[in-house]
């Protein structure tokens, strides 16, 4: 089966922290028997207009190529892929904001209706957007195709080693905000309310994915205070490293954190969050037993799910 993955979410030299989850899925798909996976990725400068140019570039680059499935990540990228003709089936994975942003959502919903397989990265996103993806008055099936996490990259590292690699004080106390603080939906203002005197809040922004596990393992705990998430990889990444994580109840956090001692998934309430956080700040090497849960969302396992969806399309 020949597959072309089209995406604007992929690490680049300019933005090494962009879309490592899509890269992980592509690389996992390439390990599966029976798949020939090609990639067309691009990094547009911003706005909708550049996607028209990319649609023409995509058509030139793949003119004359035959694919069984064209799989796009992100709604505007799915729009670009419509410039390619001849594929037996089209799949598009929506990641969240492409279904919420006013300028992008109508295009995304049009792309969904023109695709054989519209998919979202989480069941919650599928439920909330199903009517729009299927069109007015329809009951169209929306698949759930998470990207998953690279378990070879994300794993426990001794805290002192991680801190040495990052140049951090081995005896200090650190909390990790696993996002760009300038993104308002990530709510760094809430995370800052949880930082007592003598504790430092660290973050990563446009960090190469190979270095992200260092930040996670260097922290006493990870704070995910987002007001919304399409999927939400940060809690899973923390669990893969056996690092304590506190998260708002958005994305997949309620599912992946359920029943794991030392973690919290709840609406933000400062006092309750501080009570959960306190023992982790007082411990020299705080850990939780989370990796087994994270393994359920490994990138290879999720890639097998995507491959099954491809095969179902071609039956």
pLDDT tens-place string over residues 212-248: 999 999 999 999 999 999 999 999 999 999 999 999 9
Report the percentage of the chain scoring pLDDT > 90.
88
Same fold, 2-148+298-314 and 159-295: yes
CATH superfamily of the 2-148+298-314 domain: Glycogen Phosphorylase B; (3.40.50.2000)
Q: What band does 253 get if pLDDT is binned at 50, 70 and 90?
A: very high
Reply yes or no on whether the pLDDT at 126 is more than 90. Answer: no
Q: What band does 45 get if pLDDT is binned at 50, 70 and 90?
A: confident
Per-residue pLDDT, 124:
87
Dihedrals φ, ψ of 43, to 5°?
-130, 85
More confident residue, 69 or 127: 69
Reply yes or no on whether the pLDDT at 302 is more than 90. Answer: yes
Question: Per-residue pLDDT tens for 127-182?
Answer: 876 556 755 555 567 899 999 999 999 999 999 999 999 999 999 999 999 999 99
Per-residue pLDDT, 69:
98
159-295 CATH: 3.40.50.2000
∠83-88-89 over CA atoms, to 5°?
75
Which residue carries 């933000």 as its tokens? 268
Terminus-to-terminus CA distance in the chain, angstroms? 12
User: What are the domain boundaries of the chain?
Assistant: 2-148+298-314, 159-295
Average pLDDT of every residue of the chain: 94
**String of b and e for 269-290 (b: at least 16 CB within 10 Å)?**
eeeebeebbeebbeeeebbbeb
pTM of the model: 0.93
Average pLDDT over residues 30-48: 94
Per-residue pLDDT, 198:
96
């Amino acid at each position: 089966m020949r597959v072309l993955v089209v995406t604007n979410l992929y690490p680049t030299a300019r933005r090494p922290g962009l879309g490592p989850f899509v890269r992980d899925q592509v690389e996992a798909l390439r390990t599966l028997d029976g798949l020939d996976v090609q990639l067309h990725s691009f990094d547009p400068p911003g706005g909708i207009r550049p996607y028209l140019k990319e649609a023409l570039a995509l058509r030139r680059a793949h003119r004359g190529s035959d694919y069984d499935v064209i799989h796009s990540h992100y709604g505007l990228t799915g729009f670009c892929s419509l410039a390619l003709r001849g594929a037996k089936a089209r799949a598009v994975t929506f990641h969240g904001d492409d279904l919420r942003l006013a300028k992008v959502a109508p295009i995304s919903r049009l792309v969904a209706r023109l695709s054989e397989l519209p998919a979202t990265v989480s069941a919650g996103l599928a439920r909330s957007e199903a009517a729009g993806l299927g069109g007015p008055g329809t009951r169209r099936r929306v698949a759930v195709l998470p990207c998953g996490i690279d378990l070879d990259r994300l794993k426990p590292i001794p805290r002192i080693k991680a801190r040495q690699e990052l140049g951090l004080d081995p005896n200090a106390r650190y909390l990790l905000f696993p996002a760009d603080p300038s993104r308002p939906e990530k709510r760094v203002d809430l995370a800052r309310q949880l930082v007592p005197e003598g504790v430092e809040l660290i973050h990563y922004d446009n960090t190469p994915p190979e270095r992200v596990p260092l930040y996670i393992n260097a922290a006493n705990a990870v704070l995910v205070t987002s007001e919304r998430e399409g999927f939400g990889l940060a809690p899973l990444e923390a669990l893969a490293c056996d690092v304590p994580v506190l998260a708002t109840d958005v994305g997949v956090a309620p599912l992946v954190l359920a029943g794991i001692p030392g973690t919290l998934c709840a609406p933000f309430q400062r006092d309750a969050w501080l009570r959960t956080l306190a023992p982790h700040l007082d411990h020299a090497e705080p850990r939780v037993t989370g990796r087994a849960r994270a393994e359920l969302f490994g990138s290879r396992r999720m890639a097998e799910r995507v491959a099954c969806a491809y095969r179902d399309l071609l039956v």
